Amino acid sequence: MYSSKRKKQIGDVASSLRSFFTRYGRRTGISLAVYLLSLLPVVGRFVIPLASFYTFNKAVGPVPATVIFGSGLVLPKRYLVVFLQSYFASRSLMRELLEPYFSRVKFTKQQRRKWFLDREGVLFGFALGFYTMIKIPLIGVLIYGLAQASTAYLVTKITDPPPPPADSEGFVESQIQWTNKHRFLKLPLGSLDQYNVPPDDENEKNKQEMPQKKFS
């Protein structure tokens, strides 16, 4: 029993490491290719703005992406590079902070991608603030601990409590789409905790259809 459990743990670690190196290797290769193309005469000045448009078009839509593209043609290249670096670093930070959640709730690669896309705006804003503070010398390490605690709180607002393992069938699929997105985003900052209180008996009845643990 212990041998099979240990093999499973080793397999999970190996899979995580493989995913980590694949993700960062691909990102490094793309960054290097964009940098080399940006050195080309004539067309080089359009490479980084085009890369920015491609990146943000999927995340925020064509209009904001077009604004970023136009800004990249006017502003010095270093500002756009810093902006892109902050964006990708914030995404990486958010993935690391959410790793404990995904270790508990098993998503497939495609399901995890859809989960991130449906919450990308909130996750980016959350991670960008902590990424900026983590760069502060001396206190950055303390800020990272605060980010981990805050992520646990954020998860209670953008997902439902995971059920016991015996009742987990179908739970992951139900969490891919953030069903209360608009309702949550309309809440004032001082009322964020009110979302965990069912507004009427009908919502309470719907929640009881699937056995779940309550967040503490």
Nearest to 180 by CA among 170, 195, 169: 195
pLDDT at residue 168 tops 80 = no
Tokens representing 157? 């607002």
Q: How many CA atoms lie within 13 A of 51 on its CB side?
A: 24
Q: Is the Cβ–Cβ distance between 84 and 52 less than 8 Å?
A: yes
- Residue 216's pLDDT band, with cuts at 50, 70 and 90, is very low
The 10s digit of each residue's pLDDT in 74-109 is 888 888 888 888 888 888 889 889 988 888 888 888
If one compares 88 and 12, the residue with the highest pLDDT of the two is 88
- With 0-12 / 13-18 / 19 or more C-beta atoms within 10 angstroms meaning exposed / middle / buried, residue 185 is exposed
166 has a pLDDT exceeding 80: no
pLDDT number for residue 5:
59
**79-90 burial string, b = 16+ CB within 10 Å, else e?**
ebbebbebbebb
Q: Given this model, what pLDDT does residue 9 score?
A: 60
Task: Tell whether the model's pLDDT for residue 125 goes beyond 70.
Answer: yes
Residue 18 has pLDDT above 80, yes or no: no
pLDDT of residue 21: 76
Integer distance in angstroms from the first to the last C-alpha of the chain? 32
pTM above 0.75, yes or no: no
How far is Cα 5 from Cα 11, in angstroms, rounded to an integer? 10
DSSP label of 181: H
| Rounded CA separation 144/136 (Å) | 11
24-47: pLDDT as tens digits:
787 788 878 888 888 888 888 888
User: What's the pLDDT band for 201 if we cut at 50, 70, 90?
Assistant: very low
Higher pLDDT, 196 or 36: 36
Nearest Cα neighbor of 121 from 93, 143, 91 is 91
- CA dist 141 and 131 (Å) reads 11
Say what the pLDDT of residue 34 is.
81
pLDDT (tens digit per residue) in 176-195: 888 777 777 777 766 666 65
